[in-house]
Amino acid sequence: MKKITFESLPNELLLMIFSYLSFIDLCQLFLDLKNARLERLLTSKYYSLDLSSIYFNQLRQFLSSSNDKINRLTTLIDTVVICDSSAGWMLLKHWIETFIDTELSNTWLPSIKKLLILNADYFQHYFIKSFFPPLISVSNTLQYLHLVFETPTFYYPSVLSELIRHHISVHTMILEVENGHEFYPNELKKDLHNMESLYWPNTVQLTLSIQYPSELVLLLKRDALPAIEHLNITNEQIHTVFPLRRYIPVPNIHLCDYNLREIADGTRLRSLLLRYLSLSDIILLIGSLTMPLLEKLILIDLYDD
């Protein structure tokens, strides 16, 4: 029987094997091999760095290992998944330190296109100010930012406010809430009415939770989202969930047809998804907003007030 070695396997099969291994595993298994063909294959594709499947000691060893092969592979990471773990915080700290060393230029992961942060409730303001601006500079490639929050309370509006203040704007921005409406009225904090004026010039697709329907006017305000084409909005207003006997009145803020006609601009929208809005607000919005390019309108869990 003919003996088959790992190096003799066809390229297609090797690439398939690589796809089942994490980025850290690939570095540990193959980078010490002196095989030009394997090196070419390893550098022929982009990689994901998923911290949810990496142990603290694995990451520490990887970050402390600096050689030309590892550095070359690191530049091919285009997707990063960060979670609330010791490994996640270690990576963030290391990444931010590289910004400081390179005058706020993202030279460590220059090919990053997608960033997913799980448990973003614990993503402190310091990291927003220090971490995001270098990622959206002219020389960098980040196109997809996905933050996942447990609830829409406190941390969600706090992080949103910081993103707005620092003009963190990329092609696709998803601020996802896993457990919407699971809060008490006194837990609600800032809304868009109490934040700096929104200006995200590069955002084409946006998923966001709001506290009041009237915030739609601020999202659709001219020049707030000048490139927006796909908008996915969930209203977290408390009276859509709490029984009347538990309902605590919210500020008297409502959608206004005059503001929609004079301030809002829906001329670039191609898709619009609205969740947990009243029928009267939907009728007002559709009747007042001009959306000539709209191809898809999705309305979920409407209620009659």
Kindly tell me if the per-residue pLDDT of 296 is higher than 60.
yes
With a pLDDT cut of 70, the percent of the chain lying above it is 87
Average confidence (pLDDT) over 23-32: 78
pLDDT in tens, 140-167: 689 999 999 988 877 888 889 989 998 9
Average confidence (pLDDT) over 169-198: 79
Question: Which two three-digit tokens encode residue 291?
Answer: 């959306």
Predicted pLDDT at 206: 98
pLDDT in tens, 235-261: 987 555 544 444 444 555 567 788 788
Least confident of 64-78, 104-118, 128-142, 161-175: 128-142
Least confident of 23-27, 125-129, 216-220, 263-267: 125-129
| Residues 29, 273: Cα–Cα separation, whole Å | 46
Which of the listed ranges 15-24, 234-243, 279-288 does the model predict with the highest average pLDDT?
279-288
Higher-confidence residue of 111 and 206: namely: 206
Q: Are 66 and 101 in contact (CB under 8 A)?
A: no
With a pLDDT cut of 90, the percent of the chain lying above it is 36
Nearest to 187 by CA among 218, 216, 233, 150: 150
114-117 and 172-177: which strand pairing? unpaired
Kindly tell me if the per-residue pLDDT of 25 is higher than 80.
yes
144-149 and 114-117: which strand pairing? parallel
Kindly tell me if the per-residue pLDDT of 120 is higher than 90.
no
Lookup result for tokens 């070695």:
5
**Angle (nearest 5°) at CA 280 between 278 and 284:** 120
Assign 3-state DSSP to the chain and report helix, strand, coil percentages, each to 5. 40, 15, 45
Average confidence (pLDDT) over 183-188: 51
Average confidence (pLDDT) over 180-190: 58
Nearest to 81 by CA among 120, 44, 110: 120
Helix ranges restricted to H, the chain: 11-19, 23-30, 36-42, 56-64, 68-74, 86-101, 125-135, 155-165, 215-219, 257-262, 279-288
Which helix (H) or strand (E) segment holds residue 123: the answer is none
Predicted pLDDT at 38: 82
Q: Whole-prediction pTM value?
A: 0.87
Predicted pLDDT at 183: 53
Higher-confidence residue of 249 and 233: namely: 233
Torsion sign, CA atoms 184, 186, 189, 191: positive
Predicted pLDDT at 179: 82
